[in-house]
Structure 1
Amino acid sequence: MLRSLDVFLALLGLIAGFPFFLVIYVCGLFDTGSPLFLQKRIGRNQQVFTLVKFRTMKVGTPSVASHLASVSSITSFGRFLRRTKLDELPQLWNVLIGEMSLVGPRPNLPSQEHLISVREAQGIYRVRPGITGLAQVNGIDMSDPERLAQLDSEMIINMNIGNYFKFILMTVTGSGQGDRVKAKN
């Protein structure tokens, strides 16, 4: 049932959002010269896939978890995309082709070994990763692997159609700050 919703909503979002995608893509060309960002992530059953996002950081920025990235590497257009969560829109493609769900645990990088082991222990990799989820709407990011895995597990156990739409609505209306770049002191 939820997979059918994922496919329907992703397809609807890709079709309805096409004009926005085009505008963001063109603005991204002027901003960085390379508007799309592709990154290897760990998905369902620990399969590696390529996550697609709009680029928010300067070309050449090291590919690390957001909480480890430098705030100075984010472009001004990138700040706008992150604040509005528009940088996540290309992931609708990942949802449509079955690599992700709209709602699920955020996919982590292959280099995040501690997070991978904590998530393995909680059985997180048995489901598709998502664009948003319980941790994201509660502001928990990958800098706290134990708490993240705990919330991911809670979300998986309690997932139903009501929670699915609740997390999507909370994300669209601006709840949570998961996967944010933190200022270095």
Structure 2
Amino acid sequence: MALKFLFDRLMALVGLLILWPVLAVVASMIKIKMPGGPVIFAQKRVGRNGKLFTMYKFRSMTVGHSGSSVSVAGESRITPLGAKLRRYKLDELPELWNVLIGDMSLVGPRPDVPGYADQLKGDDREVLKLRPGITGPASLKYRDEEELLAKQSDPQTYNDEVIFPDKVRINRYYLHHYSFIKDIQMIFCTVLGKRMKYDNEII
């Protein structure tokens, strides 16, 4: 996966250079519309080989909330501006920095908070061999995850018993059937909001 690593870092650098005006505008909007807190949200996530790293995103929630690690569409801790940033994935643009410094990849499993990926058992732990990604097959399948969780009577349980195990399954398949061409396809599908066929399902 040396090609993947080099491609990631090159594209992250290019992306940051091209998108810096967008980054600046979003940062300014957060400062104006969501005062009293930082522009960048930094949080420890589980990375490759189970090691923790600091992931950076644009802040989309109120300051000092004490909510669950599982986000549900429409909940009060997500600000109106934050909801728009999350809908169009603009909140994730600072993660290009994580890709540039080697903590993340453009494509891979989404980085989880401690208590999920680091608690995997048996063969499921092999997904930790991968660098977490900004997008990936599981991210594409569950791009509307917050809306799906909002429909459940118990979002936390549904996430833990249905969504998370399915993400692990998909990410294990990604590890064992890695394709650079599929990576490129997933990046385009993420940017364009399209779906694709992967492992005999539409994601």
- Residue-pair matches, total: 174
Q: CA deviation at 1:148?
A: 1.0
1:149 to 168, 178, 186: 168
CA pair 79-67 structure 1, distance change in 2 beyond 3 A: closer
Alignment of 1:53 with 2:57, yes or no, is yes
TM-score by length of 1: 0.86
Letter in 2 for 1:149: V
Unaligned segments of structure 1, at least 5 residues: 177-185
Is the contact made by 1:39 and 1:63 (CA closer than 8 Å) also made in structure 2? Answer: no
Higher Rg of the two aligned structures: 2
- Map of 1:116 onto structure 2: 118
TM-score by length of 2: 0.79
Aligned residue for 2:76, secondary structure, equals helix
Root-mean-square deviation (CA, aligned residues, Å) is 2.1
Q: CA deviation at 1:66?
A: 3.3
Cα distance in 2 for residues equivalent to 1:54 and 1:47: 23
Letter in 2 for 1:19: P
Q: CA deviation at 1:67?
A: 3.5
Q: CA deviation at 1:175?
A: 4.3
Unaligned segments of structure 2, at least 5 residues: 146-155, 196-203
CA pair 120-36 structure 1, distance change in 2 beyond 3 A: farther
Is the contact made by 1:6 and 1:95 (CA closer than 8 Å) also made in structure 2? Answer: yes
1:139 to 133, 139, 142: 142
Is the contact made by 1:32 and 1:59 (CA closer than 8 Å) also made in structure 2? Answer: no
TM superposition outliers: structure 1 runs of 4+ over 6 Å: none
Residues 1-185 of structure 1: pairs in structure 2 closer than 5 A = 1-33=3-35, 34-62=38-66, 64-67=68-71, 71-112=75-116, 115-118=117-120, 121-122=123-124, 123-139=126-142, 143=159, 144-175=163-194
CA pair 124-166 structure 1, distance change in 2 beyond 3 A: same
Cα distance in 2 for residues equivalent to 1:9 and 1:25: 22
Letter in 1 for 2:112: N
